[in-house]
Every structure is written in C-alpha cells, then in structure tokens.
Amino acid sequence: MLAHSASSVAEAVGKLGGCAVEEKLDGIRVQVHRDGGTVRVYTRTLDDITGRLPEVTAAALALPGERFILDGEAISLDADGRPRSFQETAGRVGSRTDVTTAARAVPVSAVFFDVLSVDGRDLLDLPLTERHAELARLVPEPMRVRRTLVAGPDDTPAAEEFLAGTLERGHEGVVVKGLDAAYSAGRRGASWLKVKPVHTLDLVVLAAEWGHGRRTGKLSNLHLGARAADGSFAMLGKTFKGMTDALLTWQTGRLRELAVEEHGWGVTVRPELVVEIAYDGLQRSTRYPAGVTLRFARVVRYRDDKRPEDADTVATLLAAHPGVTP
C-alpha cells in the first residue's frame, strides 16, 4: 500500500479524523515473508532481495511467529543514531554489491509498520487498529515504527508535535493513517497520507537540454547552480519537472537569448536567470562539484525580482542539511 500526499498534518488529520501518525522512514521498502525457517525479502515491486539484506532475514527469524508477511523499511543509522542518506541505504541492494563488505559499511535494521498475514490468515481487509494489534503481538517495539494516535482535528497540535520530533530525529516526515482503513495492496490508498516539509532554493540556470516527445523543440531539462565560495556557480543537479506548456515556451525563448554556446544536447547560458526550486532532500553525489545533489527537484517559479548574486549558496544549502556531508 502506498500513500497520497497532504500539504500539512492539519490537512491530513482533517481528512481522516481518528488516525495514527507514524514516522516516514527514508529506507528500502521491504515486504518480509516467513514460512517456518525460510524467509524471503521483497521490494515493493516484488523483486527478491533476500540475499542482499541478511540482517532483515535474521531479524525475521528471531521473531516468535512461524508464518507471516510484514510490511516495513530497511534503514541504516549512523554512529549518532540518525538515518543515513537514502542513496547510501539503497546501495545495499545494488546488483554488483559485495554483500558482506556492504553489510559492514552500511548495516541495516528492519522496522515494521504493518502485517498482512499471520499463520495463513489474510489480514488485508481488517482495519488498521486490528492489524497493528497483531503486529504488536508479533514484533517487539524497537522493531516497530514509532507512532502516536490522534483522536481527530482537535488533536492536531499533538500530531504536529510528533512531526517536529520526527524531523529532529532526521527522518523525512510522517504518514497519517486512518484507523478504520483496510490495506490496499499495491495501490495508493486515500487512507494513507504522507506529510513532508518542502524545501525551496533560489538557484541559477546554467544550461538546458532539449526535451523529447511532446517537449521536442523546447528547452526542458534545466542545469541548476548555487553560488560557490569563490563566486562561481556549482551545479547541484537537473530538473524538467513542474513546468507548464506556457512556461516551457517562455523558457525556451529566454534561454536561447541567453545562450553562449549551443550543443547537440542543448545550450549553455549566461548565469542570469534565477529560478525557485522545490526539493525533497539532499544526498551525496560524486557527479556534481559540490559533492551533493537535490532529490526530486522541481520548478516553482522564475524569480525576476532576484539577481544571480541573490541566489542561495552551497554553504547555506549544506547548513540546512547537517546530516549530509559531501
């Protein structure tokens, strides 16, 4: 089951009423099947990754039940108990990864938030309250996702306090779940709403790539830069998301005016256009000069009220994400 998005905890609680507010962990989504002494670990797309996560297999075998299917996350924590970046954790399931070496470098722990089957009983149609009771019977608290219960909109401050604590612990947000909801396998359910803070930056367009398909003939994929300490611009990544057809048309014309070099793939431009970019997080990257890149970057709007020297700096970005070091 997957979650839709809500803009705030208040919106989510207002839609769902009585609900559970759970930490949203930025790890590897896993579905763990145990049948006696045999454990299989699958991704949410049902790729078998059992051999790549021996810690998850060991954790499942240590549980008291003999037959079950659990839904959860495999996460990795650093020495301070804060979550490592998704990029590091996701590297554990790479096809070329040496499992033993990777497990020493980036150990993972299994954390569960739902149970789909126990002893051959299908629990999908049960309400969340009953499924969680089964989960609590089967899985000890340290292996269950942290959560709080909210009676309804009047309890929104408690939900907001829980979100604040979750963010302080380094996690990416919360998932708000209706207590009466069944489990919708493989689909986005209206009873699960994820809430994550949206970060924004004012960045400078350094180049743009020609689009494909319905964007053929339009400069679509923007190369984004922040101000570096030496006064230059350090590229942080690319995005083609968040653009309307009207914006694409305007953007193409303006970028061609600013072009200083044309390539088969697109154009390099004078660094004059400032664009507001929303993004979900920061991760390490050896591809870009600052050593980091933005996750899920998308265009909010162009800032014609700002000059390139008003754009955000690499130092400001890194200070806002102390858990990510280049």
pLDDT of residue 40: 98
**95, pLDDT greater than 70:** no
Mean pLDDT of the chain: 93
At the top level of CATH, the class of 199-320 is mainly beta
Q: How is residue 313 annotated by DSSP?
A: B
Phi, psi of 190 (to 5 degrees): -70, -15
- What are the residue boundaries of the structural domains of the chain, listed by start? 2-195, 199-320
Taking the model in full, what pTM does it have?
0.74
* End-to-end Cα, the chain, rounded Å: 34
- Tens of pLDDT, residue by residue over 116-139, are 999 999 999 999 999 999 999 999
**Contact by Cβ (8 Å): 163, 21:** yes
Domain 2-195 superfamily per CATH: DNA ligase/mRNA capping enzyme (3.30.470.30)
Q: Is 238 a catalytic residue?
A: no
Identify the active-site residue in 24, 194, 196, 218. 24
Arithmetic mean of pLDDT, 250-275: 97
Q: Which of 142, 147, 92, 113 minimizes the C-alpha distance to 32?
A: 113
d(CA 275, CA 299): 7
The count of other CB atoms within 10 Å of the CB of residue 248 is 18
**110, pLDDT greater than 70:** yes
> Identity (one letter) of the amino acid at 83?
P
Arithmetic mean of pLDDT, 203-230: 96
